[in-house]
Every structure is written in C-alpha cells, then in structure tokens.
Chains A and B, each alone.
Chain A
Amino acid sequence: MSDTTLPLFEVFVRAKRGLSHVHVGSIHAPDATMAVRNARDLYTRRQEGVSIWVVAASDIVASSPDEKDSFFDPAGDKIYRHPTFYTVPEGLEYL
C-alpha cells in the first residue's frame, strides 16, 4: 500500500517569559497548523513551555560545519564586541 510521509517540522519552545525559544526536537504533521498542536502535545505536556515555534525542516537553512572557518572565526578577533574588553573604574555600578 502507498504510505504518505507527513512533513517534518522542527520545534522551538520558550520555557518561560524572558527566555529565547530553544530547539527541542521535531515532529511530523500534515501542515503547520497541526504541527503547532502536535508540538504542544509532545514537548509541553509537563508545562515545559509558554510559547512554541514550528518551522518546516525543509525551510531551514543552516551553516555547514565545513564553513566554520569563514563563518565564525572572523568574529574571534573582535574581542571589543565583548563587555569584558573594557576596563572601568572600580566601584562603578550599573554599567
């Protein structure tokens, strides 16, 4: 018999307000509307989240490990992007 393969969706859950959505896994669903519901029933049945994103796995564009050097290394020498790069006088708060 023919068997329909329902599309794969990647699932991202926000554990609580103030946190980012984090990838938790995937589910299959016929469409995005059902995907959100399936994700809710699987990934938040113990109140693990307050918000869910689903993305069709086929729509995700990812960097490749092969591109590690060109993608991420150039940021390695820009230490001035990090707050610890800067010295501030002692005793100064809220900076």
Chain B
Amino acid sequence: MYGNDFVDPNDPGAGPLNAADGGAVEAAAAHVDRRSEIDLSDFDAIIAADQRVEPRDVMPEEYRQTLIRQIAQHAHSEIIGMQPEGNWITRAPSLRRKAILIAKVQDEAGHGLYLYSAAETLGIDRAELLDRLHNGKQKYSSIFNYPTLTWADIGAIGWLVDGAAIMNQVPLCRCSYGPYARAMIRTCKEESFHQRQGFELLWDLVRGTEAQKAMAQDAVNRWWWPALAMFGPRDTGEHATGGHTAQSMAWGIKRFSNDDLRQRFVDMTVPQAERIGITIPDPKLAWNAERGHYDFGDIDWDEFWRVLKGDGACNAQRMARRVTSHEQGAWVRDAAAAYAAKQAARQQAAAGEGSAA
C-alpha cells in the first residue's frame, strides 16, 4: 500500500530496483512439487531432485541444526532490526513518512514471526530461541549494531541494508527446507517495499536543500561498508574454505557464495546511486569491462569481526533493550496463560455440570 508511488512510469531507466523485483521470487513460488515421485525416506534423493524437505521428513541431525541456527539468526536479526529503525518513528518528518516507517518496523516484527514459525517446525520452541538470543548463544546480523543518527539513516537502511538483505534472501526462496523457503517468499515480497521506500527517501533528500543532500550523503558514507560486510566473510578463490558454505550449498540451503552475492549487490546498487545522485564512498570503485562487473575496494574485516564480537556502537544497547522488553512483558504473558487456564477449567466444570444433569 505504501511504496512504489515514486517510480516514474515514463522513465525508461526504471528497471528492477532490487533482487526481488526480477521475477525470481515468483519463480521460486512456482516451484513444481514432484515429491510424490520420490522415496521420502531418502533425504539425499529429495535434495538431489531439488525438492523441498518438509517438517516430518527424515533429515540428518546436522541439517536440522544448521537450519535452526540459520533461521533463528535470521529471525533475531529481524526483531533486533526493529530497534534502529524504530528509533525514528517519533521523529519522522512527515505524516506519510511516519506511517510508512511504522508499517515497515511492523513488517520486521512480522518477518521475525514468519521465521520463528518456520524454525518451530524443526522441533524447537520460540521461547527457547529467544533465550538463546538473550543469553548470547545465538547471534543477529551485526549491521544492527550501528546507530541510526539522522533521518537519512532510515533511507540508507532501506536502500542498502534491505537491498543487501533481499539479495541474500531471494535465493533462500528456493531453499531446500520448505517452511523456510515459504517464509522467505512471503518476506521478500514485503521487503521489496522496504527497499523502495529507502530509495525514495534518499532520492527526495538529494533533491532537497543542501543540508538534506549532505545528510543523505553522510548516511550512505556510514552505511555502505557495513552493508557490503553483511554478506559475510570472503568465501571464494583463495578464501574458499570448503567448510560451512560448501556443506550448506550441498544441502540446498545456500545457493550462492557470499562473494558472489556481494558482487551482484554492488553491480545492482552502483547505477542506482548514480540515479539518486549520491557518491559511493569507495575511491577504488570502477567498472571492469573485462569482468563485466564493478571492482570495489577492500572491506575492513577487522572492523567486521570487532563489531561481530561485541565491540560495536550499539551491541550492548540492543541486547539490553531486547532483554528488558522481554522481562517487562513477563507479567503479561503469565497473566494471559493464567487466564487461559482458568477459562479452560471453567469450561470443563460447566461441561461436567451439563453431563451430570
């Protein structure tokens, strides 16, 4: 309902804005189920036939654990991601922007719920997953340990962070695990709106006053490198480890390498930056005709690991808020459960009286 009203239909250059716009999500949704032709007690046969593994199928324990970890981390990222963006709800500069932002932060909660729902099909409770988040046993995306300092950060997150997230998530729409793939299809359809609102927000700022333009550039300067780091450590060429990435690929959980997705993201985003009129903060960024891709500079992996391990501007703040919120809600959850138990007892008593009579 909010979203693409900024796209000029007469603009011949208005191509797909993100990885979800190119028809890949629809293609994944149209996946043909041929499970009836396969021996479902044979996990490898399901994977080999590129069919979806469903919750009650036999699956290797490592496959289950890998999925639980990945889906939970993904879900945690969605709900922690509500914090940096929610930070601007009370300060959004127009009512339209305010409504869009509330809807967007709400969507993040929704995506978290889709994902926890998918994880629970693997035989683990959401409460257990939240415990693992709260006690630090499971992680969330490190990108959300950066602060949102100006209004333009909301645009940069939408355009770059959601753009990168979509790039990661579109291949997951074809993930071998059915519930995860379906959650991703639903999520990607909604994320597309998020990225567009971010693009539009920055577009409008760059066409505004000098101060607004500077605000937009500053935000992109701060978010560009963390967005590239979101794809994870290098995992091709000399960096290929053959470990985690290889196993996830063999299982049809991961479809492309981190480096491959990062390159695609850069290739898709650079022309958009030019359209917006914003400079990407990388002096080494240049089109390489031979490769047919953009070359780009080195990511500061020391910073990446430092923030991942807890030394980012907002790590402690995000976790403290999440845990406090959860603890403050405990009396509400307890009360709701107590009421449900009382109601069930009352109904049972009433039924008992009815049968006695």
Contact = CB atoms under 8 A, between A and B. Distances in A.
**A contacts B directly (C-beta below 8 A):** yes
B43 to A, nearest CB: 11
B340 A26 contact: no
**Size range of the interface on B?**
20 to 34
Contact of A30 (B41, B54, B183, B340): B340
B117 A25 contact: yes
Contacts of B118: 25
Contact of B127 (A1, A3, A34, A45): A3
Instruction: For the complex of A and B, list the 8 residue pairs with the smallest distance between their C-beta atoms, beginning with the closest.
Output: A30-B336, A31-B340, A25-B117, A5-B127, A26-B117, A4-B333, A4-B337, A30-B340
A68 B42 CA distance: 13
27 contacts: A2-B330, A3-B127, A3-B131, A4-B333, A5-B125, A6-B333, A6-B337, A7-B340, A8-B126, A25-B113, A25-B117, A25-B182, A27-B113, A30-B339, A30-B340, A31-B343, A42-B113, A45-B110, A46-B1, A46-B190, A62-B56, A65-B40, A65-B54, A65-B56, A65-B57, A66-B41, A68-B40
Contacts of B54: 65
Main secondary structure of the interface of A (DSSP, over half): loop
B327 interface: yes
Interface of B: 1, 36, 40-41, 54, 56-58, 106, 110, 113-114, 117-118, 120, 125-127, 131, 182-183, 190, 327, 330, 333-334, 336-337, 339-340, 343
Given A2-B334, A65-B58, 12 more contacts: A3-B333, A4-B336, A4-B337, A5-B125, A5-B126, A6-B337, A26-B117, A31-B339, A42-B113, A46-B190, A62-B56, A65-B57
A75 B247 CA distance: 38
Contacts of B183: 25
Contacts of A84: none
B154 to A, nearest CB: 21
A51 to B, nearest CB: 19
